[in-house]
Amino acid sequence: MKTFCGRANTSTGAVDWVEESEEYDYHQEIARSCYADMLHDHDRNEKYYQGIRAAVARVKARGEQVIILDIGTGTGLLSMMAVTAGADFCYAVEVFKPMADAAQCIVKKNGFSDKIKIINKHSTDVTVGPDGDMQMKANVLITELFDTELIGEGALPSYEHAHHYLVQDGCEAVPHRATVYAQLVESEMLWNWAQLQPVEVEGARLVPPAEVGRCAGAHSVCDIQLSQVSPHSFTPLGPVCSMFSVDFSQPVNSTFQSHSSQFVARCGGRAQVVLSWWDLEMDPAGSIVCSMAPSWTYPEPETAPWRDHWMQSVYFLPVESKVAEGEELSLTVCHDDYSLWYGLQANRQPDPQTASPLPRPCCTCQAHLVWTRPRFGELNDQWRTESYVSALRSILREDSVCLGVSDGSLLPVFAHMLGAKKVYSFENSRMSKQVIEQILEANSMTGGVELLKSRPEQLTSSDLGGQQISVLMGEPYFSTSLLPWHSLFFWYCRTALTGLLRPDITVLPCSATLHVMAVEFQNLWRIRAPCGTCEGFDVTPMDEMVQRSLEFHESREAEPHPLWEYPCRALTQSTPVMTFDFTQCIPEQPIISEGSLPLTRIGRCHGVVLWMEYQLTEDIAVSAGLIQPVGDQGECEWSRHRKQGVYFLRSPWESSGDGRAALSYSFIFEPTSGDIKMDFSINPGDLLPSDS
């Protein structure tokens, strides 16, 4: 059965109506759910299996039947581990129907149907009794309800309910315990993700509004691959602190709690950021530990397990504060049933009986709701700002009438500071407009930039006071953009505005170029790799719908990833494959590009990276992808501000590196839809398919 779905087109700005099968959403959800990453996480699976075997053995040693409750079973892997370890019966709960259906298929294929019952419900809706979902309460509780913040997927309420209604008193639990760790640091790089910094333009200083500086910021956690944040980019002000633990074998309380850790500052500095992660102890003795600690905490960093379904967290303190070496400090963490937040106190240990609760961070300035954390980093990037200011300086005249087309951009403010006659700017939302107005007011520039509410296609000459635009500028940046070419919305705006532009219009950037490069990923390939077998269990035979969705996603679409967090090596040269001329309107005919990239380095080709480079003027360019030339061994340094596109090959290929084998490409830019259709294939030469 087919249905029509309306979708906002991020490139053209229009709403497209597309025909999809009724299973489309399931296809996408399964394809993007990263179950493959979890199933490839050998350390996680091994530690869970060890913990499950030990728990089953302890119950059997007491002469009891082993009844398992597995909450959040996913593929059913942990339930199959439990039965293999000797459990008598397992109730496996999975609320997401497509995944529950897949688990049912996998369990049946592996011969466990008689001992595993898949329950497609939220665990808080599961009932126990003769007519219930479970015939009896379980005496072993197995869960994988955790996210990067530990409790963000509702682990605490689920545990609380399970202990009240679904498991026996004194039950075994795998994992048995979780412990949250934190470290207070100073880091200019990370702090730039939280607060707007002053900017120097032509000897003038653009300062952030006081409201932004006082704001505690967005409450949502910043989850990243902390292993890719170099220890040289932050200064530890204190030791790694154990903040609190949760014993999952006992009744769990999901209400607000506060915990503090006292320490002496190791050195002086600015307390800005808290780095946080957690460990799982799979057994009561704490001898089986699955750690989320970043690699630089390991004596041998290369031995740290890699995973993407669980990462590490960065928390920004409400305000930065100076600390002195030797100063006694108290780091406090609070949590409700779904999230954590941190605060710092000096020179005293808080009394839990009298201390007032640490308020949850809440954005009051709007800026943290308008700009993402990478966007803050982009706005604070001094080199990038200097590039745009230099480009603007070279094209502006005293009689320039400028129009900015980007979301929450400072370019119009820079144009005003550089002396443009008149500056207009589109703002896509009320909040974004308010933030720019605050910046103008804080710098006594009220009225210096006129903020327009109309969409580009709705703009009239009267909105511009009868003037024609002589400079059209953009970064381009749009909050709705996901993939690199979605920023071509700037081109569609330029085309819609043609009647309001002077014949000799100057456009900044004047063009954009799509670049591609074949790469070998260090670890990212795992999130889309076939599952094969996992700890002795065949997890490949999902139902046809799930398998089709995975194939559709992997073989035909690129997906966005922040590659600075995911190291890779270049196997080909970086190659421009398509150029978009912003000085001209969008062409009526498709733009087509075909060619090949010789594989000139030895390695395993997992896929292709795609990114945009913007030519601001003839001699100034800004890259949203590679920011340094590729190293001699293929090392890549990527922009931290934008996500790059990644197209995973259906199967990895081994390159001998002699250049005889090549990756062929075909691109078609469709002007009517703004889509870029792409296809890649290997011209083998002496290239052989990889076994993994």
Catalytic residues: 144, 153
Compute CA 251 distance to the chain's CA centroid, rounded to the nearest angstrom. 33
Point out which residues pair with 520 in neighbouring strands. 569
Q: Rounded CA gap, 627 and 216, in Å?
A: 31
Phi then psi dihedrals of residue 264, to 5 deg: -105, 130
Sign of CA dihedral 625, 631, 636, 638: negative
CA dihedral 602, 607, 613, 618 (to 10 degrees): 40
Q: How far is CA 608 from CA 173, 381, 529, 568, 655, in A?
A: 43, 27, 15, 11, 14
Q: Rounded CA gap, 101 and 549, in Å?
A: 14
Q: Rounded CA gap, 51 and 176, in Å?
A: 9
Q: Rounded CA gap, 489 and 95, in Å?
A: 38
Phi then psi dihedrals of residue 78, to 5 deg: -65, -35
Q: Rounded CA gap, 579 and 608, in Å?
A: 18
Annotate 256-275 with b (16+ C-beta within 10 A) or e (fewer): ebbbbbebebeeebbbbbbb
| 287 contacts: CB under 8 Å, gap ≥ 6 | none
Point out which residues pair with 681 in neighbouring strands. 664
**Which of 470, 463, 459, 465 is closest to 497 using CA atoms?**
459
Residue type, 541: P
Question: Do 94 and 125 touch, CB atoms closer than 8 A?
Answer: no
How many CB atoms lie under 10 A from the CB of residue 148?
A: 20
Residue 123 φ/ψ region, left for φ over 0, alpha for ψ in the -120 to 50 degree band, beta for the rest = alpha
Q: Rounded CA gap, 692 and 688, in Å?
A: 12
DSSP strand pairing (591-598 vs 662-669)? antiparallel
24: helix, strand or coil: helix
How many CB atoms lie under 10 A from the CB of residue 473?
A: 30
Tell me the angle at which helices 97-109 and 544-556 cross, rounded to the nearest 10 degrees.
110
Tell me the angle at which helices 544-556 and 24-31 cross, rounded to the nearest 10 degrees.
70
Here the tokens at position 629 are 């030339």
- Range 382-387 contact pairs with CB under 8 angstroms and sequence separation of 24 or more: 384/622, 384/641, 385/199, 385/410, 387/616, 387/620, 387/622
* Strand stretches in 210-335, DSSP E: 222-224, 235-236, 241-247, 257-264, 269-281, 289-291, 312-323, 328-335
Q: Rounded CA gap, 411 and 403, in Å?
A: 10
| 25 contacts: CB under 8 Å, gap ≥ 6 | none
Alpha helices in 62-115 (DSSP H): 77-84, 97-109
Annotate 336-363 with b (16+ C-beta within 10 A) or e (fewer): ebebbbbbbbeeeebeeeeeeebeebeb
Question: Do 659 and 582 touch, CB atoms closer than 8 A?
Answer: no
